């Protein structure tokens, strides 16, 4: 299987102290109805993977790159569908205003950092595909079931303490 390159924006909203996630349109061919970060496949006219993520954020939610503060790349994740996902941690003061692209996204919701980083919300799960058994993790909070690469990126966010990096950057004196 050929690897496909994708990028996602792990967007932290300062106002609510939450990460932004979307639910994909249930009629999409790829990953219909799944919860994910805004993002998508790299295209030839993208200058970089961060540009891929920012382009997709704009396409899906109408949030422009000039409103977003890119913090740093995160560790890439591999999927069973052949994608190599390159997550970028970023922040925005507020997601408002945004415009949901209903062709790609059916819902947007925010998960508070204090819930994302509770280890008890994560569980290892097994699932079968093509007669083989695979292991991954899931995140369960209220009615939101997140699994696979998205749950692993969320877990990575907490394990590597990306939130404290953002806090340190916010406290640093502005350079002249």
| Ramachandran angles phi, psi of 31, nearest 5° | 55, 50
Q: Which residue has the tokens 């109408």?
A: 62
Are the CB atoms for 122 and 111 separated by under 8 Å? no
Interstrand relation of 4-13 and 83-92 (parallel, antiparallel or unpaired): parallel
> What does the pLDDT read at residue 32?
66
Give the other-Cβ count within 10 Å of 133's Cβ: 8
Strand (E) or helix (H) holding 149: helix 148-159
- pLDDT classification of 1: cutoffs 50, 70, 90: very low
Q: Is residue 37 predicted with pLDDT exceeding 60?
A: yes
| Ramachandran angles phi, psi of 159, nearest 5° | -60, -40
Are the CB atoms for 105 and 23 separated by under 8 Å? yes
Model confidence pLDDT, tens digit, residues 88-102: 999 999 999 999 998
Model confidence pLDDT, tens digit, residues 134-160: 888 999 877 778 989 999 999 999 998
Go through the domains of the chain in sequence order and give each one's CATH number.
4-171 (3.90.79.10)
| Predicted structure pTM score | 0.89
């Amino acid at each position: 299987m050929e690897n496909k390159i994708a990028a996602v924006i792990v967007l932290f909203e300062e106002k609510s102290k939450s990460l932004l996630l979307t639910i994909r349109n249930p009629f999409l061919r790829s990953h219909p109805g799944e919860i994910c970060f805004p993002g998508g496949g790299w295209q030839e006219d993208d200058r970089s993977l961060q540009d891929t993520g920012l382009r997709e954020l704009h396409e899906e939610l109408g949030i422009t790159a000039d409103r977003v503060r890119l913090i740093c790349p995160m560790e890439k994740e591999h999927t069973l569908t052949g994608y190599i996902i390159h997550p970028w941690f970023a922040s925005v003061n507020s997601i408002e205003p945004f415009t949901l692209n209903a062709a790609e996204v059916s819902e947007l919701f925010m998960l508070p950092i204090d819930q994302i980083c509770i280890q008890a919300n994560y569980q290892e799960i097994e699932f079968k595909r093509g007669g083989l058994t695979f292991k991954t993790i899931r995140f369960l909070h209220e009615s939101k079931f997140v699994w696979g690469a998205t749950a692993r990126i969320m877990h990575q966010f907490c394990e590597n303490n990306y939130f404290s990096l953002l806090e340190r950057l916010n406290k640093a004196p502005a350079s002249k």
